[in-house]
């Protein structure tokens, strides 16, 4: 069966049932698991299906759709906490760090509250609130200005001007999606520019994103995976994706209930 014929079968199954498992497609198509995963990856890159752990699902929304902070905060909560704990291990006392907006970076902020002597720069009011403590004179929190997005980020020219000229040791960057072809992406055009400014201010870029973000492509790509020094995700990441990702990022860290090891 030719590739375009297999793609048609996958799309039909997704449209009919809302999703389909890799194992079922292997049996139905009579091809290897690797071939099926490659087909799903291609359909995902074209925006026709959503790649999920163990199969493919119907695309849940448009590339320009931006879920609100409250909606995202209820998703993948365990994975986000594990990712935050692993990410916090990268921070030395007295370091300067930047955190972008997002529910995962908010968890990182919680995990950093016990780190002494930090200087924190963020475009997230929620992150700033989590780390600001009037009684703690050992920590400095700098909040950029800007226009607020549905995901609770401050973006635009004012935010970018506030970041210009800054130099931080680490950036913890949340993303809408990460993909080998599309790289890091967001549904918000202004947020893409602000994320670039955050990356430009950092000596090391650490992307924190749960495994459900793998294969998701937003409206605007703002950096390739090769611009990422460390990618911290959870152990739900499809094993087939490991070699693709490790060939591009500096280090892949898999966080989970057992440990926060790297691969």
Whether the predicted pLDDT of 259 surpasses 80: no
Give me the percent of the chain exceeding a pLDDT of 90: 57
In this structure, the answer to whether residues 103 and 9 fall within a common structural domain is: no
Into how many domains does the chain fold?
A: 2
Instruction: Single out the residue in 57, 77, 100 at which a domain terminates.
Output: 57
In this structure, the answer to whether residues 111 and 225 fall within a common structural domain is: yes
Whether the predicted pLDDT of 75 surpasses 90: no
pLDDT at res. 203: 98
Q: How confident is the model at residue 134 (pLDDT cuts 50, 70, 90)?
A: confident
pLDDT at res. 92: 96
In this structure, the answer to whether residues 95 and 121 fall within a common structural domain is: yes
pLDDT at res. 260: 36
Q: How confident is the model at residue 31 (pLDDT cuts 50, 70, 90)?
A: very high
Q: Taking the alpha carbons of 171, 174, 175, 181 in that order, is the dihedral positive or negative?
A: positive
- Cβ neighbours of residue 178 under 8 Å, at least 6 residues apart? 184, 185, 207, 209, 213, 214, 216, 225, 231
In this structure, the answer to whether residues 53 and 74 fall within a common structural domain is: no
Domain holding 229: CATH number?
Answer: 3.40.50.1360
Whether the predicted pLDDT of 143 surpasses 60: yes
Q: How confident is the model at residue 148 (pLDDT cuts 50, 70, 90)?
A: very high
How far apart are the C-alpha atoms of 118 and 15, rounded to whole Å?
Answer: 50
In a domain, 47, yes or no: yes
pLDDT at res. 66: 52
**Count of alpha carbons within 13 Å of 114, Cβ hemisphere only?**
6
Q: Look at phi and psi of residue 222 and say left if phi exceeds 0, alpha if psi is from -120 to 50, else beta.
A: alpha
Coil, strand or helix at 47: coil
Range of the domain at 51: 3-57
Task: For residue range 102-133, list pLDDT tens digits in order.
Answer: 999 999 999 999 999 999 999 999 999 999 98
pLDDT at res. 166: 96
pTM over 0.85: no
Q: How confident is the model at residue 193 (pLDDT cuts 50, 70, 90)?
A: very high
């Amino acid at each position: 069966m030719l590739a375009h014929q297999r793609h048609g079968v996958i799309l039909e199954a997704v449209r009919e049932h809302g999703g389909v498992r890799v194992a079922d497609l292997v049996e139905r198509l009579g091809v290897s698991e690797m071939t099926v995963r490659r087909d799903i990856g291609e359909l995902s890159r074209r925006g026709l299906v959503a790649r999920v752990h163990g199969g493919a699902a119907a695309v849940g929304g448009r590339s320009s759709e931006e879920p609100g902070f409250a909606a995202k905060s209820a998703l993948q909560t365990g994975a986000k906490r594990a990712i935050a704990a692993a990410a916090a291990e990268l921070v030395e006392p007295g370091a300067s760090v930047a955190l972008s907006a997002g529910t995962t970076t908010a968890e990182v902020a919680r995990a950093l509250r016990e780190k002494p002597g930090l200087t924190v720069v963020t475009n997230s009011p929620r992150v700033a609130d989590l780390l600001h403590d009037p009684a703690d004179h050992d920590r400095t929190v700098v909040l950029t200005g800007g226009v607020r997005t549905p995901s609770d980020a401050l973006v635009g020219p004012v935010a970018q001007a506030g970041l210009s000229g800054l130099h931080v040791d680490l950036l913890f960057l949340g993303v809408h999606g990460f993909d080998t072809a599309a790289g890091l992406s967001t549904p918000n055009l202004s947020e893409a520019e602000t994320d670039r400014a955050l990356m430009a201010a950092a000596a090391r870029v650490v992307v924190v994103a749960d495994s459900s973000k793998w294969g998701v492509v937003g409206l605007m790509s703002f950096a390739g995976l090769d611009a990422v020094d460390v990618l911290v995700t959870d152990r739900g990441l499809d094993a087939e994706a490991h070699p693709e990702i490790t060939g591009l990022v500096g280090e892949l860290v898999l966080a989970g209930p057992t440990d926060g090891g790297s691969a």
